[in-house]
């Protein structure tokens, strides 16, 4: 009998899934359910890339989860589900570790929905759906904010009256599962760097940076919400709060309209008027696309400098995420004005997407490390559900 761990990343109408063996770290299969509802589509593939047939009810998250597991079950008839791990965007101010889900934790996490209204409710819906689909199977919540709870107070607060900080208005930081993976990878593969000052650039449709020292988060570009910091695919990044006041007072926009503007109509998409996909913008040849790229590169350079200042220097710059891992041009352009920080890339290595792309004479290492949030979720789920000991027994 094969015991497996299912990892879930639940969106408003999507479900990203991976299936891991209890005793291994390489996924058996991955998949995506898109457009949950009457017209949902599903794609499942095994670790060799072969399609896994799956069809059935996908009218809700719970139904989609059952359909996913039925597809995996038809591929591995002897499989039993040992635990389910979930990505949860917000864990609150005090949770620095991931946790087993119970009714009390679900209630606590629901109170955080106003802090992450576009993510948290859907994450929790995925947990409830999995609990309904697999009663008695351990569920584990893995928080994107947990990795950043080691921030010093000056990197955790805003200059507002202290009562707001106590009420939870503070800099949380996000993409923590990605940064947790990168921290563990450099600890095992480059411990001399892990002990030092590392800036990690998670660049994708969602983008942020984290300054780490000794493998711990010291500063992050994302703050109270996942809007802050770098421009993203459709999110604005850093914005003067006076702009929001202007939109309310002078343009008469509602909170919902402003939220839609900042989360869905801005960033690369808003600046280019074309696309939120960097690949499309790189080949577009329009002035607007070029300017959108220029702005993205400039803000990345600026935030690398800010992270280095927070760390008191920099020993390594690491790129990850869809853009960071795949766009040779963006990496080269970001690094081209950072020689004053000891950053110099080897263009041949960069073109080849090598793991180390800094030149031999560079004072600061530059690396490309593909991130793996699902692996972090699977390992945390295995440990918190007690599956390591059970498997050994």
Residue positions annotated with a catalytic role = 144
360 CB burial (10 A radius; 0-12, 13-18, 19+): exposed
C-alpha 135/C-alpha 266 separation (Å) is: 41
Give the sign of the dihedral formed by CA 91, CA 93, CA 97, CA 101.
negative
C-alpha 9/C-alpha 257 separation (Å) is: 26
User: CB of 322 within 8 A of CB of 206?
Assistant: no
User: CB of 313 within 8 A of CB of 195?
Assistant: no
CB atoms within 10 A of CB 139: 25
Phi, psi of 12 (to 5 degrees): -60, -40
Question: Residue length, the chain?
Answer: 393
CA 134 to chain CA centroid, Å, is 26
User: CB of 372 within 8 A of CB of 358?
Assistant: no
For the chain, give the longest Cα–Cα distance. Answer: 67
């Amino acid at each position: 009998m094969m015991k497996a761990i299912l990892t879930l990343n639940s969106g408003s109408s999507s479900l990203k899934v991976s299936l891991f063996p209890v005793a291994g770290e390489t996924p058996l299969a991955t998949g995506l359910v898109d457009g949950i509802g009457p017209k949902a589509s599903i794609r499942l593939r095994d670790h060799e890339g072969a399609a896994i047939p799956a069809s059935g009810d996908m009218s809700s998250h719970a139904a989609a989860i059952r359909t996913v597991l039925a597809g995996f079950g038809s591929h591995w008839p002897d499989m039993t589900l040992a635990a389910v791990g979930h990505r949860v965007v917000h864990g609150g101010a005090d949770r620095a570790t991931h946790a087993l889900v119970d009714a009390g934790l679900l209630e606590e996490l629901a109170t955080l929905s106003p802090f992450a209204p576009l993510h948290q409710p859907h994450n929790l819906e995925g947990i409830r759906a999995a609990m309904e689909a697999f009663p008695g199977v351990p569920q584990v919540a893995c928080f994107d904010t947990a990795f950043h709870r080691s921030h010093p107070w000056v990197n955790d607060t805003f200059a507002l009256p202290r009562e707001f900080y106590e009420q939870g208005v503070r800099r949380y930081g996000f993409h923590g599962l990605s940064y947790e993976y990168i921290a563990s990878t450099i600890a095992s593969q480059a411990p001399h760097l892990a002990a030092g000052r590392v800036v990690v650039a998670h660049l994708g449709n969602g983008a942020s940076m984290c300054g780490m020292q000794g493998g711990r988060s010291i500063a992050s570009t994302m703050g109270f919400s996942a809007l802050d910091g770098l421009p993203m695919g459709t999110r604005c990044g850093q914005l003067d709060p006076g702009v929001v006041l202007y939109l309310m007072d002078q343009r008469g926009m509602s909170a919902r309209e402003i939220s839609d503007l900042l989360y869905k109509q801005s960033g690369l998409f808003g600046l280019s008027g074309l696309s939120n996909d960097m690949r499309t913008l790189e080949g577009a040849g329009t002035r607007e696309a070029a300017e959108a790229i220029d702005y993205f590169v400039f803000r990345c350079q600026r935030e690398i400098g800010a992270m280095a200042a927070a760390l008191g220097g920099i020993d390594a710059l690491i790129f990850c995420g869809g853009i960071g891992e795949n766009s040779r041009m963006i990496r080269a352009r970001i690094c081209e004005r950072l020689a004053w920080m000891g950053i110099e890339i080897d263009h041949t290595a960069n073109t080849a997407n090598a793991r180390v792309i800094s030149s031999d004479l560079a004072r600061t290492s530059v690396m490309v490390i593909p991130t793996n949030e699902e692996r972090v979720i699977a390992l945390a789920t295995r440990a918190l559900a007690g599956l390591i000991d059970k498997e050994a027994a």
